[in-house]
Structure 1
Amino acid sequence: MGHRLKLIPPQYVKPFVKRGKNDRNDAEAISEAASRPNMRTVPVKTVDEQAATIVVKHREMLVGQRTQAVNALRGHAAEFGIVAAKDCGNVEALVCVLTSQPAIPDGARAMFAQKGRHVAELDQKIRAIDRQLLEQHKANPVSQRLAAIPGVGPITGIIMALSVNPANFESGRHFAAWLGLTPREHSTGGRHRLGRIRKAGNERLRQLLVVGAMAVVRYAKPGSKSANAWLLQLLERRPHKIAAIALANKIARIIWAIMARGEAYRRQPAAA
């Protein structure tokens, strides 16, 4: 019938809603928002694209459940005066300590053991999905090109390849902004003030890039393969966390360029 489907984010429609919540006001706001020529829309995914992202979304859910369970375990341990490190790799040792403390009641020790088994089961499920993603990575040429970028491994590469359509973004800068890796701007009267990053968009994709960037920053030394002159100079002027965010922004732009143009990653010469 000549109609074109548009998906508009709810936060962009909200400013057009009048007082009172009813279907008429909602429909009027949607119609007004859809008529705007510069209104941003969400790309409509095909059935194949939706099916490809199911594994990624399921992994995100399991990682979130594991983080929640580990935080709960650490919180309960602190109630008994036992402080644990902020790392999922220390859960097994923490559970051994908690279950062997005679001062802790039997009921609490049983719950600690059950919580430890729950975290172990989640770890096993996440590893199984990672193996599945690695198999997809080996068969995906885009993911293989992305994995050549310092800070982007096979898991991040295949997740990006399955979750991101480069045609939805005008440039790498737009893609980095969509991930929330650009600073907030409070500029007026010719004064430019930049704040913290926006943290908008897909939180899990942004987290993958930031974690990868932190790994590169951690081992950035003159002569290393992952460090270049730009990063080393930035580390001389800025703290490690700020440098990692800037590097994650740069990695996001490189990812978009590789996916949009079909090129291979060209490694920059290491700083002497």
Structure 2
Amino acid sequence: LGTPATRMAFDAEHEAVLATLARRDRLDAAITAMAADSPFTPVVHRLCCLRGISTLTGFGLAVEIGDWDRFTGNTIGAFLDLVPSEHSSGASRAQGPITKTGNAHARRLLVEAAWHHRPAYRIGATMRARWDNAPAAARARGDAGNRRLHERWVRMLERKKRPTVANVAIARELAGWCWSLAVMED
């Protein structure tokens, strides 16, 4: 930054970034507070038993989907359009990419959460803290889901699937695990 004008431009943009980060942090805190005292709180606590689903993600999914009982573990993926498109004629059947016509926000939350299942599964302090807020049945179900989703990642990578394709498949299965936790009785 050799000239004063360049330095001023940098400082102005840096201040804008800092202001945006501060605004994001304030909004995250406000959403977390809303999630702690809402009709969705029990669902959020159960969803947080899965890796990649924090309070903000769980609250976003709970609000976007609303009534989880209208789905099954198989149909939730179709509602979010995490299933492949299909072109069929006679005996031929060709599957294509996902159609992306469902709930885009919930789909994005699940796709981002699915990336967290790629590394080896270890129960850390963050996961234990989330489990403390959930019932024992939800903790056990979340642990089983975390193990299975990581194993699916490993199998897909062994089959040389592209990571983005594998991630959408994991997100589709993650939607089913979220459904099973959301409809669970406390």
Maintained 8 Å contact 1:151/1:215: yes
Which residues in structure 2 correspond to 1:63-142 (within 5 Å)?
101-102=1-2, 106=5, 109-139=7-37, 140-142=41-43
2:140 is matched with none
Q: Give CA-to-partner distance per residue, 1:5-51, whole Å, 9 cap, x none.
A: xxxxxxxxxxxxxxxxxxxxxxxxxxxxxxxxxxxxxxxxxxxxxxx
- In structure 2, the CA distance between the partners of 1:126 and 1:189, relative to structure 1 (3 Å rule), is same
Is 1:210 equivalent to 2:135 in the alignment?
no
Maintained 8 Å contact 1:138/1:144: no
After TM superposition, the runs of 4+ consecutive aligned structure 1 residues lying more than 6 A away are none
SS in 2 for 1:193: strand
Relative contact order, CA 8 A, sep 6+: which one is greater? 2
Q: Report the TM-score, using the length of structure 2 for normalisation.
A: 0.72
Q: Structure 1 counterpart of 2:174, which letter?
A: I
Higher strand share: 2
* Cα distance in 2, alignment partners of residues 133 and 193 from structure 1: 42
The alpha-carbon deviation at position 144 of structure 1 amounts to 0.2
1:239 is matched with 162
Q: Structure 1 counterpart of 2:184, which letter?
A: G
The alpha-carbon deviation at position 168 of structure 1 amounts to 7.7
The alpha-carbon deviation at position 143 of structure 1 amounts to 0.4
Q: Bigger CA drift: 134-143 or 226-235?
A: 226-235
| Structure 1 residue runs without a partner (length 5+) | 1-100, 265-272
SS in 1 for 2:93: coil
SS in 1 for 2:57: helix
The alpha-carbon deviation at position 250 of structure 1 amounts to 0.9
Q: Report the TM-score, using the length of structure 1 for normalisation.
A: 0.51
Maintained 8 Å contact 1:176/1:182: yes
Task: Tell me the number of residue pairs that the alignment of Structure 1 and Structure 2 aligns.
Answer: 158
* Pairing partner for 1:149 from 36, 50, 58: 50
Q: Give CA-to-partner distance per residue, 1:187-221, whole Å, 9 cap, x none.
A: 2112121111222233332222111111211x136
Q: Structure 2 counterpart of 1:113, which letter?
A: D
* Cα distance in 1, alignment partners of residues 84 and 10 from structure 2: 41
Q: Structure 2 counterpart of 1:231, which letter?
A: W
- In structure 2, the CA distance between the partners of 1:167 and 1:142, relative to structure 1 (3 Å rule), is closer
* Pairing partner for 2:180 from 243, 257, 261: 257
* Cα distance in 1, alignment partners of residues 82 and 60 from structure 2: 18
Q: What RMSD over aligned residues (CA atoms) do the two structures have, in Å? A: 2.5
SS in 2 for 1:181: coil
The alpha-carbon deviation at position 167 of structure 1 amounts to 5.2
Maintained 8 Å contact 1:166/1:256: no
Q: Structure 1 counterpart of 2:16, which letter?
A: H
The alpha-carbon deviation at position 142 of structure 1 amounts to 1.0
